[in-house]
Amino acid sequence: MKDFDETFRKQIGKEGLTLVDFFATWCGPCKAMHPILTQLKEKLGDQVHIMKVDVDLPEHGNVISHYNIASVPTLILFRAGKALWRGSGVVSAEYLKGIIEQARREPIKC
């Protein structure tokens, strides 16, 4: 557990943007988000790092609890360890691209 917690903190603590996808393998909407996130990464490249966190893995429990993940998919956008935006459910790549582009220009409140 500690290894994942440390890896997670290091990744979201970076100055660049990290979009975390909290998902479950059995979740239909989560499966629908996979190609959307792939498309987003293709559009934005190095402008954002996408990290996937399976809510059903015991080693992810501390992070799930800390961020009060109650439904999947939940997406949280981080920079320098701070959550800039949070949303749940299926959203389009264009919508996420807009959120990320806005975050690059100015902080967003959760």
Active-site residue list: 27, 30
Local structure of 107: helix, strand or coil: coil
71/91 Cα distance (integer angstroms): 14
Q: State the DSSP string of 20-71.
A: EEEE-TT-HHHHHHHHHHHHHHHHHGGGEEEEEEETTSGGGHHHHHHTT--S
Which tokens is 101 given?
């582009």
